[in-house]
Amino acid sequence: MLGLDKTGWIEKPRPTCGPLDAIVRPLALAPCTSDIHTVWEGAIGDRHNLVLGHEGVGEVVEVGDMVKVFKPGDRVIMPAITPDWGSLEAQSGYSVHSGGMLGGWKFSNSKDGVFAEFIHINEADANLALLPDGIEPETGAMLSDMVPTGLHGSELAGVKYGDDVCVIGIGPVGLMAVRGAVLRGAANLFAVGTRPNCVQVARSFGATDIISYKEGPLHDQILDRTNGKGVDRVIIAGGDNDTFDTAIRMLKPGGAIGNINYLGSGDYIKIPREAWGVGMGHKTIHGGLMPGGRLRMEKLAQLVLTGRVDPSQLITHRFEGLEHVEDAVMLMKDKPADLIKPVVSIRY
């Protein structure tokens, strides 16, 4: 990101490795819709000469003196979120907010991201995860952000056995939210989106109904299909600030919304007063950035290894060579109808 609305290539010095850190070279990289919000919506303000990217698998080329778990040659998942684990926020259970709100989101935000020849990883033992043999790097790259974010959506919404769930948005993030909700016991699962590839994968991940936001208000469509009762949980993984309005309207009293959407513009979210039980409806909203951490990332990799989650179904476009990262970013920006997720492989 050279500045707002502008991407290109720049030379930077190779990052240096502190005692707890690692330096990694990329094997597979993927752009995120968040990179698009950052550059073309200015969602986190202006940034100059910031290396984009926070999704990828790589090979460790250097580790600091105090790193115990990893060594050069290891293939590793680089999580999008790389917190400071000694911070008070991490100790209170909110690693992602280490050092201040969203402070654990460093790549392509407060420091250079992963679209580079060499990538700096802070607190390598806590933040990296070994990529198990049996998961190809391209699929592993989906474990940086898409899998943990989508599954976190189902945690934020608190999905329980037998819950009726609506997942608004079935891009790669929402698709993983569909899978997460199914694994946590969803009964009827309404998936909202229109791109045919996404619809097909949503069904294969366990969606029972597909709903188009282009065919009338979502809450009316959900209320029609649930005898006017609504759903127990809503996971928001697409749409905009107005999506909270429709989500509140389709939610049962006592229900919860889990938001993982990155709201790129506007100042306020409107909550419909009456549908919110005039403030007393026990309808809660949880919004969260995915937590990182080696333990969680290794467990998610086990879900892939055991076949419970198949993120390879998200990959629709493949490129070879670091120089094609820009093409992948532009695809993510333009969102052609057949796109779910592009990935770039790098061979040495």
Which residues of this chain interact with ligand NDP, rule CB under 6 A?
Answer: 32-34, 37, 145, 149, 168-174, 192-195, 198, 213, 237-240, 243, 260-262, 289-290, 335
What is the CA angle 123-127-128, rounded to 5?
Answer: 110
Nearest distance in Å: CB 81, ligand NDP: 7
Query: Shortest approach of ligand NDP to residue 334 CB, angstroms?
Result: 11
Q: Which candidate, 272, 290, 335, places its Cα nearest to that of 150?
A: 290
Q: Which residue's CB is nearer to ligand NDP, number 64 or number 104?
A: 104
Closest contact distance (angstroms) between CB of 280 and ligand NDP is 27
Amino acid of residue 302: Q
Which residue, 102 or 223, is less far from Zn ion as judged by CB?
102
Question: Which segments within the chain are labelled E, that is strand?
Answer: 22-29, 56-63, 75-78, 119-121, 129-130, 165-168, 189-192, 209-211, 231-236, 251-259, 284-287, 315-320, 341-345
Q: Which does 121 bind (CB under 5 to 8 A by kind): ligand NDP, Zn ion, none?
A: none
The listed partner (Zn ion, ligand NDP, none) that binds 173, CB under 5 to 8 Å by sort, is ligand NDP
Nearer to ligand NDP by Cβ, of 50 and 60: the residue is 50
Nearest-CB residue for Zn ion: 32
User: Shortest approach of Zn ion to residue 253 CB, angstroms?
Assistant: 33
Q: Which of ligand NDP, Zn ion, none does residue 109 bind (CB under 5 to 8 Å by kind)?
A: none
- DSSP β-bridge partners for residue 6: 3
Beta bridge partners of residue 29, listed in sequence order:
56, 344
Which listed option, ligand NDP, Zn ion, none, makes contact with residue 37 (CB within 5 to 8 Å by class)? ligand NDP
Q: How many residues does the chain have?
A: 348
20: left (phi over 0), alpha (psi -120 to 50) or beta: alpha
φ/ψ of residue 39, rounded to 5: -80, -50
